[in-house]
Homo-oligomer: A and B are copies of this chain.
Amino acid sequence: MDIGSILLALVILLILAHLSARIFNKLGVPGLIGEIIMGIIIANLAIGDWSLMSMLDISMGDDPSENYEVIELFAELGVIFLLFTVGLDTKISDLLSVGKAAVLVAMMGVIVPFVFGFAAIMIIDGSTIHAMFMAAAMVATSVGITARVIKDMRLIDAKESRIIIGAAVIDDVLGMIVLAVVLGMAESGTISISSIATITIMAVAFVLIVMAMAKWLVPRVHTYFHNRKEKIVDKTGDYHPLMNKLFLAIIVCFGFAWLADSIGLAAIIGSFLGGMLLADYAWEWGLEKKIDAISTLFLSFFFLNVGMQINLSECASWYVVGLSLLILFLAVISKYIGCEIGSKMGDKTLDKQSRSIIAIGMIPRGEVGIIVATMGYASNYISVEMYAVVVVMAVATTIIAPPLLSKAYRKKYPPEIKFTPEDMV
């Protein structure tokens, strides 16, 4: 392991991410977009034989360099920790209060994009398998991106935010189910009811177990911590900083992420549920600041890495550009329409502004869309052009949504007016 080379790559990327985030902030745009665009620049910048990627010994593709593996790991841990902090802010009781709306927003936000995507590719391309993968990639919502915008705006307690986060999490679960179904169909040629049933039961059981643990186990752990005397210096004078709540939180975060991954869900769903498990005591345990410190180290790499997936030279054909624009358009309007209808069905008290916030908040596809495309491409079910289209769509929806979302939020909640009690659940 060449630690010097790794440290150099980390430092340069952190500084570039920071600078671009600051510049975009000054322009009034969320910093994460700066980080994504910086990722695109980093991956594509080459002057003659020189490129930043080769200078930093970062190469992607089938046989990635060690430095890229570190970036990928940090990106993955970053989004895992981000969803963990979002979970820490999300009390189960709050989520249950928006349950019906979240479920309907999520379901409509899956059905409408899937139908639109499937129809479009069937008309253009004619291949059922291509159409299925494309449609599956258009389904899932990237809770990471939206959650960051909501967190940055400090509007996580608004009713719309809770509906979005609840729906996005359900959506990610539905996205994983759709992926499992599509993969099963592509392999066997038929729909496997048993695999759909298995993953659905797993996901529901996971959520129920977390709710039960939050009710019966976590309060007992809290009592244990509370009663334990703070014996900082024992007879040896030794104090082991691992014996603390932060350690427990890291274990829960990683453990639940692993569990979710191993039952076929995304790791981030597990870390979100893990955070939610501890949400009732997060403030008392002083977890948020500490987990935020850890996030600071990792999270920029997630947004950089989203941008780094875009290979501009691959997107330089008219077919890819045209198809990308079409799919992007469909992805945005299908999600908007689906979620707008879903929120109307789910909660009659939501006004037009609120429904619009929710519908915009569900637009980013981000990593889940890319995961679907990567699996389809790796198994030769879709072409490299289709893959590029999905990546462009996933990244573009991710770039488009945050400024629209901040605007929609700011319309309803102007910075001067803090939200009033009736907007809170």
Known: A4-B261, A14-B247, A247-B18. A31 touches B238 (CB 8 A): yes
Contacts of A72 in B (CB 8 A): 1
What 1/0 flags go to A308-340 for Cβ under 8 Å of B?
000000000000000000000000000000000
Residues of B within 8 A of A28 (CB): 234-236, 238
List residues of A (389-420) whose CB comes within 8 Å of B's CBs: 403, 406, 409-410, 415
Query: With A and B bound together, what is the CA distance between A292 and B258 in angstroms?
Result: 24
A406 partner, pick from B69, B236, B243, B292, beta carbons under 8 A: B236
> Closest Cβ of chain B: how far from A78's Cβ, in Å?
12
Nearest Cβ in chain B — how far from A4, in angstroms?
Answer: 4
Residues of B within 8 A of A233 (CB): 153-154, 415
Grouping DSSP codes into helix (H, G, I), strand (E, B) and loop, the A interface class, with mixed when no group exceeds half, is helix
The count of identical subunits is 2
A300 touches B (CB below 8 Å)? yes
A25 with B237, Cβ < 8 A, contacts A14-B247, A14-B254 known:
no
Cα–Cα distance between A22 and B238 once the two chains are bound (Å): 11
Interface residue A251 (Cβ < 8 Å from any Cβ of B)? yes
- Which of A5-13, A181-189, A344-352 is the contact stretch? A5-13
Contact B406 A73 (CB under 8 A): no
Whether A247 pairs with B296 at a CB distance below 8 angstroms is yes
Q: Are B241 and A296 in contact (CB under 8 A)?
A: yes
Q: A292–B250 Cα gap in the complex (Å)?
A: 14
Collect the chain B residues with CB atoms within 8 Å of residue A6's CB: 73
A295 contacts which chain B residues (CB < 8 A)? 241
Considering the chains assembled together, what is the distance between the CA atoms of A318 and B246 in angstroms? Answer: 45
Check A239 for interface membership: any CB of B closer than 8 A: yes
Is A242 an interface residue, CB under 8 A from the partner?
A: yes
Query: In whole angstroms, how far apart are the Cα atoms of A241 and B294 in the complex?
Result: 12
A220 at the interface (CB under 8 A from B): no
**Of B18, B297, B300, which is within 8 A of A294 by CB?**
B297
A76 within 8 A of B: yes
A24 vs B62: C-alpha distance in the bound complex, in angstroms?
Answer: 45
Q: Are A237 and B410 in contact (CB under 8 A)?
A: yes
Cα–Cα distance between A21 and B242 once the two chains are bound (Å) = 8
A180 to B137, CA, bound (A): 54
Q: Is the CB of A238 within 8 A of B11?
A: no
A238/B70 in contact, CB under 8 A: no
Question: For the complex, what is the distance from the CA of A250 to the CA of B12, rounded to whole Å?
Answer: 12
Give Cα A17 to B240, complex, Å: 11
Q: Which residues of B contact A251 (CB under 8 A)?
A: 11, 14-15
Q: Given the known A-B contacts A258-B4, A258-B8, A415-B233, are A238 and B153 also in contact in the complex, defined by CB atoms under 8 Å?
A: yes
Residues in A lying within 8 Å of B, measured CB to CB: 1, 3-4, 6-8, 10-11, 14-15, 17-18, 21-22, 25, 28-31, 66, 69-70, 72-73, 76, 149, 152-155, 233-244, 246-247, 250-251, 254-255, 257-258, 261-262, 267, 289-297, 300, 403, 406, 409-410, 415
Q: Can you add 6 more A-B contacts, CB < 8 Å, to A3-B261, A7-B255? A: A3-B76, A152-B240, A153-B237, A153-B239, A154-B233, A241-B295
